[in-house]
Amino acid sequence: MPDQVNADAFLPDRELDATHLTFVRMVRAFAADKLLPHARRIDEECEFRRDAVRELAAAGLLGGPIATEFGGQAWSPMQIALANEEVGAVCANTRGFMAVQTGLVAQCIERFGDAAQKKAWLGKLCAGAAIGCFALTEENAGSDVAALACHARRAGDGYTLHGHKIWITNGGVADVAIVFATIDKTRGRDGITAFLVPTARAGLSRARMPGKEMGHRGSDHAALTFADFAASAHEVLGGEGQGFKVAMGGLNAGRLSVAAGAVGIHRAALAASLAFTTTRQQFGKPIAHFQMVQERLADMAVALHAARALVWRCAGLRAKGHETPSDLAVAKLFATEAAARAADVAIQLHGGRGYTSAYPVERLLRDVTALRIYEGTSMIQKTIVARGLTTT
């Protein structure tokens, strides 16, 4: 008889109080019912699944952290972490959509927007009636945000935007965009301004990014080109020259969800490895009985618990208002790198089967690779941690 797999080895349930346990099981049931049946297909067919937007909204997952007065659920930071782990364990594409829609876009509007901007967009974003994107990255402005070339020229009472953005998640399907442009490049980061604009306006052209992504193939990744794109003064988000602050606020919000999503992928890799190694027979017994396999399973489990603990630590600090960029960087760095190692080991434990899309582990490795890049590469996270240690 094969070994019985101990679910406590990879699920967070045993450590949760009754309220959080109920919440986790709700999100887990949603992910199993609505997302799991499509996760493999949308990856293989490179399909952005619009039905998932409606389903997420109906379940209250799109407006999770947003205040109830704007149509959200007022989740705590811990609930944000738990939801992203559960969705990330099933479908990285959907978790990535949630992170952009809710973290980078809706939470930025809630934090930096004026009353009119909040009224115009937050309800629609929470209800899935509008899709948002965060148009920051450029050809020569990735980690170096202050180097962006997209510029905004004053035109009457407003501005015209000119420039090119790449790798904008949701960019091809978005109804509203937070666009970052400089009003004066000589001012560096102090010239960067954020604009909250509808995309159905003359002067914007969109195209799918060329090539085929390594992972997150069920996501929409687009290049956006702005040419004489008009933006009014009322569409400035957070104030003129405050765009760098808006961008960093959005990225910090997103890093918690990315780290929690990596915990989800890590958990899925461990669960798949346990299921496979306890049933796969070699030399007359399950391969989970072999010491070298046990060592790898143990390492995966220890790293999973450590990564989750760092994510929960950040959630606790955020709830108290004590979170720092270094805290987030530690969690994102450790969780994403640990998940990448776990996914790689999972493929090795599956042998030849791990090399095919008939099993989920090869997709886990492809998807987690992006999490080591999104919202700041692992190298950038190390820089943030080091600065936190050496700057008083």
* Contact between residue 176 and residue 106 where contact means Cβ atoms under 8 Å apart: no
* Contact between residue 86 and residue 26 where contact means Cβ atoms under 8 Å apart: no
* CB-CB neighbours of 291 under 10 Å: 6
Selection from 103, 28, 111 nearest residue 255 by Cα: 103
Q: Please tell me the distance from the alpha carbon of residue 306 to that of residue 176, in angstroms, as a whole number.
A: 37
Selection from 308, 313, 340 nearest residue 328 by Cα: 313
> Cα–Cα–Cα angle for 195, 67, 28, nearest 5°?
105
Q: Please tell me the distance from the alpha carbon of residue 241 to that of residue 187, in angstroms, as a whole number.
A: 9
Residue keyed to tokens 């937070």: 178
| Buried residues in 196-210 as b, exposed as e (16+ CB within 10 A) | bbebeeeebebeeee
Active site residues: 375
Query: What are the beta bridge partners of residue 45?
Result: none
Cα dist from 382 to 230, 243, 285, 290, whole Å: 39, 24, 43, 36
**DSSP string covering 80-97:** HHHHHHHHHTT-HHHHHH
- The DSSP element (H or E) to which 253 belongs, if any, is helix 243-277
Amino acid code (one letter) for 131: I
Burial of 111 (0-12, 13-18, 19+ CB in 10 A): middle
* Contact between residue 193 and residue 180 where contact means Cβ atoms under 8 Å apart: yes
Q: Please tell me the distance from the alpha carbon of residue 85 to that of residue 93, in angstroms, as a whole number.
A: 13
Q: Please tell me the distance from the alpha carbon of residue 69 to that of residue 74, in angstroms, as a whole number.
A: 9
**DSSP string covering 347-373:** HHHHGGGGGSTTSTHHHHHHHHHHHTT
- The total number of residues shown for the chain amounts to 392
